[in-house]
Amino acid sequence: MAGELGQQTVELGTVVRQAAEESYLALRDLVEKSRSADTEGEGGQQRSDTEKKIELLKFIDRTRQRMLRLHVLAKWCQQVPLVLYCQQLASTLSSHETCFTQTGDSLFFMHEGLQQARAPIFDVPSAIEVIHTGSYRRVPKCVEEIGTQNTLFQDERKPTLKKLSTLVRAKLLETMVPKEISEVSVTDGIANVQVDGEFKVLLTLGYRGHFSLWRILHMELLIGEKTGPIKLEETRRYVLGDDIERRMAVADNPFTVLYSILHELCISFVMDTVIRQTNVLRQGRWKEAIKSELISDSHTSAGQGGNNAPVQLGQDGELDSSGFRIPGLKVNYWLDERNSGSAESDSSPFIKVEALQDMQIKCQHSSFVLDPLTDKEADLSLDLSCIDVEALIFKAIACNRHTRLLEIQRELKKNIQISRSPTDVVLKQEEVHMNILPKRMDRRDFENCCTNEVLQVRAYGQSYIHLGINIRSGGFLLQSPKNILPPSAILESEEALNKGSITPPEVFVSLKTRSILHLFAATGRFLGLKVYSQYQITLKIPKSILYGSDFMVMGIPWHANAYYLLMQLDNSLMPVFYLLEVHADGEDRSNADATSDAKEAVRFNRIDIGQMQIGLENLSTLRSEVAFGKRPLSEFLLNIPSLQPAIISGGPSKRRKLPEDASSMQPGTTLTYGTILAEGNWCITENIYASVLLQVIKHCLLRIKYAQLTTQMNSLNIPYVEEVGLATPSSNLWLRLPFAPDGSWKHICLRLGKAGSMSWDVRINDLYYSALWKLHGGSTTAEWGSRVRIANTSEMDSHISFDDDGVILTYNSVEVDSIHRLVSELQRLSNARVFACGMRRLVRVKVYEKLGQNQLATKMKLHSAKKCFRDRLSDQMTKTFRIDAVGLMNLWFSYGANAMPIVHFVVEWEAGKVGCTIRVSPDHLWPHTKFLEDFVNCNEVDSLLDCIRLTSGPLLALGGAVRPAKMPAVPAVCSSAQKQNGVLLASGSSSTTVHTNSHDAQTSSTLSAAGRTVPGLVPSSLMPFDVSVVLRGPYWIRIIYRNKFSVDMRCFAGDQVWLQPATPPKGGPSIGGSLPCPQFRPFIMEHVAQGLNTLEPSFLNARHTVPHLNASANTLSASQQVVTTPNPLSGGTPGVVKLTPSVGSPVAPSVSRGGNAMLPSSGIPSGTAGASAHLSSGTNLPVHMKGELNTAFIGLGDDGGYGGGWVPHAALKKVLRSILKYLGVLWLFAQFPDLLKDILGSVLKDNEGALLNLDQEQPALRFFVGGYVFAVSVHRVQLLLQVLNVKRFHHQQQQQQAPQSSTQEELTPSEIHEICDYFSRCVACEPYDASRIASFIMLLTLPIPVIQEFLKLIAWNKSLSQPHGDIGTAQRARAELCLEKHSRSFSGDYTGTSLPSKSNIQHDRANNSVDFTVTFMLDHNLTPHMSSSGGAGWLPYCVSLRLRYTFGDNSHVAYLAMDGSHGGRACWSQHEDWERCKQSVVKAVKAVNGSPATGESGQGRLQMVAEMTQKQLQLSLLHLRDCSLSAGSTRP
């Protein structure tokens, strides 16, 4: 039954159909069930979506399993022949198994019978072997090896194989071998039969035991591809070998059968490989480039498929050759796009590959082609051992390409315009380098171009145009080096050549013309010309001068686009040049352009190169030059002939004829460029064409330059004279300018320069510049004197130079405004010359008598009205002014007394600027130099010097008052000085005392302790934005203080200035002017008297040894030094303070005044401030400086705050410093009303605090906070505060409210005094800051107990700043209450209050809390050494602690934030150390809150917090220093 089931079969289609039907039925049942469930669910329970999805999923899974099985079955059915063959093998093996079973059974029963019939069998052969040889070679080595030996021994093989080889050779001699078999050899009984390129077979005798029949041992095919030979499958090789053996056994000629079968097999494989490779090429890299079709004997199939089964075997292994044909293949290349759709009209070349009647592969080409290597008919064939269809196509294309290029070469050689020498048209068989290919072709397509053979046609010299053929399309490819032709010309010619609309000779004639024009264009671009092609230009060129459509136009950009050069080639390819002059519409040449609207050439002139001569000695040079671009431009731009004279129109010009002998020339032996060009194209190099173009340009540039310059001079009405009568155009023009000095500059010569050069120059012969040239050469006898040097010339004026004859202005090109620029520069030269001569005359520099007599006389006439004034100031000018340097466009001079300049001036006439520019050093003296420049521009040199003489002293005094002053450097005194009751005692001399002002000393010491000064400087109390200076007139200086107060300083002749507050306009001070300055006149008069009383001539001469110095940093001059020098000869004691003048600041022994003479010290810094010495009773001072000021000026009325007064120069710096302090106090006082209104109104109620009255004339104000009235008044340069307790003046109210008075707290007189003292020391101090006033007012709004807490903290801070016996105590770390509000917040966890207040102390009345900041300045002895970069490196290290004090029943202090200087972490460079220090400070603040009440100890809570924080910072510094020392000691 199993066998029957195994034999039953069913169709695969039936199985598929049944599977599909079952799947469909199952799906339909599933749908019907779902519908019925929905219908039933309306009255009963409805199935859920989950159940439906589960059913659907089960159906999908079952269907998927069924389809997978069906798929596997379909795969299995594809192997039915193999299965059938396996079934046959299984059946054969089953029959063999039955036979083996029967044989085994028979042997078993036979064995039983043999046991009975056995008899001893003697081993006679072995015995004979033992007897004869004495040994037995077949004795087994072990029992397991007992058995029969089937192989021959080694010594038996050789004879046996020799006999077998003899038999094989004999058999071969008897058998006929076909001639196609290339090799037959016998080795070791094996015959090697081989056909080259097809197959190789190893045979021997012994087929099925018959030694007369051939047996195949091995069979190998030799045909193959690039990947290797073709290999037969093992099963197919066995079947094929068995079939061949059987056929050879029954055939009369077995080798003929062998060859015919294997040859047909190889041919089939070859054609199959050819078809397959062709299909791969068609679908790959040769897509749309080739097409193929199969060829048979009966018909031509249009199919594109290959023969996939060249040999078919039957079921019994026999070769089935019925209907077997080997098709051929036709491959078309260079497909014509126009005929690609129709096969009948396709004229593209093709290759035919097919097996002929003799079964040989034959390759044929559609047309006759030549082999490029042999120049014979090409032989196309396939290498069967390495079949490569692509190589066959490449060879056919190469032969076809060679044939076509050879035909074009023969045609081009017949054209005389193209071929003049044998090397003009050459067919090159070599690769074309990548550098000559155009940009449109990349490296990937390079192999598709003419890689092996190109046709080279000479363009000029050694430059060729290459013609190749594209192997993909068969189209022509034109290529050239990048510098020969533009890509557009190549593409255009290539397209026309491929379309057949133009012949190759016509193409190359056009390309040769364009290449020469392109060379001219490249040369023109190198020279800076604008190049236009015939497609870009819109000029209307007359047709009569055109030779064809190929021409080039060059625009000359240096000449306003009004001139163009037309270049073209005639029929003999000779260059033809025309110079065109065009006019745009409206004659607007400045905007003319060849590519804009059409313009017409109004004039043209042909330049005949046949008349251009060249010397014989230059001919070899031109031919030997390799590259034109490597030669400098100056070698080519030689003398250029002029344009026709008609270009220049008539005008205010005159001509002067020169002698005829001046223009005579002796020409040498020369040739023309036309002769050289006619010699032949082979010798005309790029350099020759470039030289021709340069010669042409030389005929144009000079006359164009002449025309442009004269046109500009005519437009400016500048008369000029021209020289005529020369063989070449004139190169000199003589000008006259209207502003030229009378009697000078008569000979202004404009020289056009060398021909071909764009440069031109102007020369002026003047003895003034001759004197400068002598000065430049180092002459000590020059008119300028021995101390004057030559000033440097700016880069903008580098084209201006001078020599012994005069000045030269050189220009490199002609611009639209060249003459205007020339006039401007000559005007600058003239102005500089006039000013220099005026300065030299006023400062009494000895002038050479023959130099400029007319100019000096003219200047004297122009200024005759001021002659008396000049004579009077002549001596002063000579002594105070000195010329330092003189140049073409500038002059350097200085101002100072006694040959010590203090101010330096540079007067320069810059290019492109009307008028002069004055620069001053020091640059901070004059806010601007407009008024000084006006004097120079108006040629008022004496007024300029007078202005400088009168204003330099006041400006220097103002600069010294604003900037830090020199501090007396007294190391011996200051190092050991001790402060006792405001007096510094010098060690070693008890009689030497220096009196200081207590307030100024306190300020100075505070700033010094804070590290805000450096040795030798008293810090300026002014901020950079405090003071600004403007000039309202030449002698009118306005000083503006913080945009609120302004003081006018007017300078007059003499030794004093007028100071007065700026009067505001009608709109009030808000729109200009100054706020009122009460008591301004008495204030300055008092300081004038004090300043004059300090001028003691005996002290200046060092007659007294005990000077009295003022340490307020405002009385000592910046040019004086206080030194301690022992003088044993004079009998002085060591440590005597002596005032000595410094270098550059001489001190006059006496002060005198006579007439309008200026004080000797008025022009130097030391003379404006005076010395701070006390005047003795015997001092001899002028009356107007001593008595009159004290009696007449002091006590004058105030004039409403806008009165002024006279201030001598000697006391000006001291007065100005005092005025700036006074203005600062007024500004600070002016901040009070607004701050009181904002702070008192935001914190207190209406009846708790307000502004009582404000008196602007005093000035003074009063305000009350709680039960106290505070009065603020201005006293000289200080703000004073007075506090009044209102309750003490109302005894009755105090008695009526006695029960309540016991609970109220009041400030004690000492506390009130401490408030006033703190106001003077820390609030109203320099530099003035409104935030300190705001913080102080906010402090007064606090409750009395809280104020007392802050007063204890202030007193403790004050005690830290006062030294106690030693200097080390004063240098320890101290703390202070920070009143200034800084914009930078402390840290990210604290951003401060949101109220827009200027106060740094914030009072939160609702929560009974106050936020404040305490700043701790660290002990510099404990801070580690750190390299601080930037401007804050000299400041001390500080730590600011932001705290919140909550007062009331449960008073405590809370930590808010902590910040450090120098980047936020002070001297803690590591973030971890800084965080550790911050945590220790937080713990210290918390520890104070846990301490007992502070009333018993007398210390306030805030004081305890500050002390604990200070100690904790000290400990952190000690720890930081110890860690730094330990880390440093461990370093190697």
Compute the distance between CA of residue 1313 and CA of residue 407 in angstroms, rounded to an integer: 123
Does residue 949 contact residue 942 with C-beta atoms inside 8 Å?
no
400-409, 990-999, 1487-1496: range with lowest mean pLDDT = 990-999
> Which is nearest to 751 in space by CA: 764, 767, 737?
764
Q: State residue 93's pLDDT score.
A: 92
Q: State residue 697's pLDDT score.
A: 86
Does residue 794 contact residue 835 with C-beta atoms inside 8 Å?
no
Q: State residue 671's pLDDT score.
A: 76
Whether the ω angle into residue 922 lies within 30 degrees of 0, i.e. cis, is: yes
Region for residue 1042 given its phi and psi (left: phi exceeds 0; alpha: psi -120 to 50; beta: otherwise): left
Look at residue 1141 and tell me whether its pLDDT is greater than 80: no
> Which is nearest to 534 in space by CA: 524, 548, 522?
548
DSSP 580: E
Mean pLDDT of 171-183: 90
Compute the distance between CA of residue 1339 and CA of residue 1332 in angstroms, rounded to an integer: 10
Compute the distance between CA of residue 1032 and CA of residue 1177 in angstroms, rounded to an integer: 42
Quick one: how far is CA 793 from the chain centroid?
33
Q: State residue 1315's pLDDT score.
A: 92
Cα separations in angstroms, 1053 against 134, 386, 1214: 158, 115, 21
Compute the distance between CA of residue 1063 and CA of residue 1080 in angstroms, rounded to an integer: 13
Q: Which residues of 1254-1290 are buried (b: 16+ CB within 10 A; e: fewer)?
A: beeeebbbbbbbbbbebebbbeebebebebeeeeeee
Amino acid found at 2: A
The answer for residues whose C-beta is within 8 angstroms of residue 1415's C-beta and 6 or more apart is 1375, 1376, 1377, 1378, 1438, 1439, 1440, 1441
Q: DSSP string spanning 1409-1423? A: EEEEEEEEEPPTTTS
Mean pLDDT of 1161-1171: 35
Beta bridge partners of 291: 332
Q: State residue 820's pLDDT score.
A: 92
Q: State residue 808's pLDDT score.
A: 94
**Taking the alpha carbons of 1188, 1189, 1190, 1192 in that order, is the dihedral positive or negative?**
positive
Q: State residue 1193's pLDDT score.
A: 39
With bands split at pLDDT 50, 70 and 90, how would you rate the model's confidence at 672? confident
Mean pLDDT of 815-840: 91
Amino acid found at 1207: V
Quick one: how far is CA 153 from the chain centroid?
89
Beta bridge partners of 1527: none
With bands split at pLDDT 50, 70 and 90, how would you rate the model's confidence at 1194? very low
Does residue 412 contact residue 419 with C-beta atoms inside 8 Å?
yes
Look at residue 536 and tell me whether its pLDDT is greater than 80: no
- Render pLDDT for 1041-1061 as a digit per residue (tens, 0 to 9): 988 899 999 998 888 999 999
Q: State residue 430's pLDDT score.
A: 61
Compute the distance between CA of residue 504 and CA of residue 538 in angstroms, rounded to an integer: 31
- Render pLDDT for 585-605 as a digit per residue (tens, 0 to 9): 544 444 445 555 567 777 787
Mean pLDDT of 335-340: 62
The residue among 662 and 286 whose pLDDT is bigger is 286
Q: State residue 358's pLDDT score.
A: 75
Mean pLDDT of 1006-1016: 38
Rg of the chain's alpha carbons, rounded to an integer?
60
Look at residue 390 and tell me whether its pLDDT is greater than 60: yes
Q: DSSP string spanning 118-161? A: ------HHHHHHHHHHSS-TT--SSGGG-S---S--HHHHHHHH
Percent of the chain surpassing pLDDT 90: 22
- Render pLDDT for 735-756 as a digit per residue (tens, 0 to 9): 888 776 666 787 789 998 877 7
- Render pLDDT for 1485-1517 as a digit per residue (tens, 0 to 9): 988 887 665 555 567 888 899 899 888 888 888
Look at residue 1034 and tell me whether its pLDDT is greater than 50: yes
Amino acid found at 501: S
Look at residue 8 and tell me whether its pLDDT is greater than 50: yes
Q: State residue 73's pLDDT score.
A: 86
Q: State residue 1519's pLDDT score.
A: 83
Compute the distance between CA of residue 305 and CA of residue 278 in angstroms, rounded to an integer: 10
248: helix, coil or strand? helix
Query: What is the torsion angle, in degrees rounded to the nearest 10, for the CA atoms of residue 1421, residue 1426, residue 1430 and residue 1432?
Result: -20
Q: State residue 405's pLDDT score.
A: 92
Q: H or E stretch including 655?
A: strand 653-657
Quick one: how far is CA 212 from the chain centroid?
94
Does residue 311 contact residue 243 with C-beta atoms inside 8 Å?
no
Does residue 32 contact residue 24 with C-beta atoms inside 8 Å?
no
Does residue 1481 contact residue 1511 with C-beta atoms inside 8 Å?
no
- Render pLDDT for 853-862 as a digit per residue (tens, 0 to 9): 444 454 455 4
Average pLDDT, the chain: 75
Cα separations in angstroms, 409 against 369, 512, 1151, 1529: 16, 16, 110, 93
With bands split at pLDDT 50, 70 and 90, how would you rate the model's confidence at 816? confident
Compute the distance between CA of residue 63 and CA of residue 67 in angstroms, rounded to an integer: 6
Look at residue 650 and tell me whether its pLDDT is greater than 70: no
Mean pLDDT of 311-323: 39
With bands split at pLDDT 50, 70 and 90, how would you rate the model's confidence at 632? very low
The residue among 1392 and 890 whose pLDDT is bigger is 890
Look at residue 531 and tell me whether its pLDDT is greater than 50: yes
Compute the distance between CA of residue 294 and CA of residue 279 in angstroms, rounded to an integer: 11
Beta bridge partners of 600: 540, 583
With bands split at pLDDT 50, 70 and 90, how would you rate the model's confidence at 1171? very low
Total H helices, total E strands in the chain: 36, 57
Compute the distance between CA of residue 457 and CA of residue 461 in angstroms, rounded to an integer: 11
Mean pLDDT of 810-833: 91
First-to-last alpha carbon distance for the chain, in angstroms, is 102
Q: State residue 865's pLDDT score.
A: 45
Mean pLDDT of 425-451: 51
**Taking the alpha carbons of 495, 500, 504, 506 in that order, is the dihedral positive or negative?**
negative
Compute the distance between CA of residue 582 and CA of residue 604 in angstroms, rounded to an integer: 9
Alpha helices in 804-911 (DSSP H): 818-842, 853-862, 867-880
The answer for residues whose C-beta is within 8 angstroms of residue 898's C-beta and 6 or more apart is 879, 1146, 1160
Amino acid found at 950: L
> Which is nearest to 1355 in space by CA: 1333, 1376, 1381?
1376
Q: H or E stretch including 478?
A: strand 476-479
Look at residue 1413 and tell me whether its pLDDT is greater than 90: yes
DSSP 1319: I
Does residue 168 contact residue 204 with C-beta atoms inside 8 Å?
yes
With bands split at pLDDT 50, 70 and 90, how would you rate the model's confidence at 829? very high
> Which is nearest to 1262 in space by CA: 1275, 1253, 1250, 1249?
1253
Q: State residue 665's pLDDT score.
A: 36
Mean pLDDT of 662-671: 46
Look at residue 986 and tell me whether its pLDDT is greater than 60: no
The residue among 1188 and 519 whose pLDDT is bigger is 519
Q: Would you state the structure tokens that stand for residue 1351, as one six-digit string?
A: 């007063």
DSSP 377: B
Q: Phi first, then psi: give them for residue 1451, nearest 5 degrees.
A: -80, 140
Location of structure tokens 């044909």:
325
User: What is the number of alpha carbons within 13 Å of residue 1257 lying toward its C-beta?
Assistant: 4
- Render pLDDT for 760-791 as a digit per residue (tens, 0 to 9): 999 998 888 988 998 888 877 677 877 889 99
Q: Would you state the structure tokens that stand for residue 972, as one six-digit string?
A: 């011996």
The residue among 886 and 1120 whose pLDDT is bigger is 886
Percent of the chain surpassing pLDDT 70: 71
Cα separations in angstroms, 823 against 560, 666, 712, 1288, 1370: 20, 40, 11, 88, 73
Q: State residue 1463's pLDDT score.
A: 73
Q: State residue 979's pLDDT score.
A: 35
Mean pLDDT of 1350-1364: 80
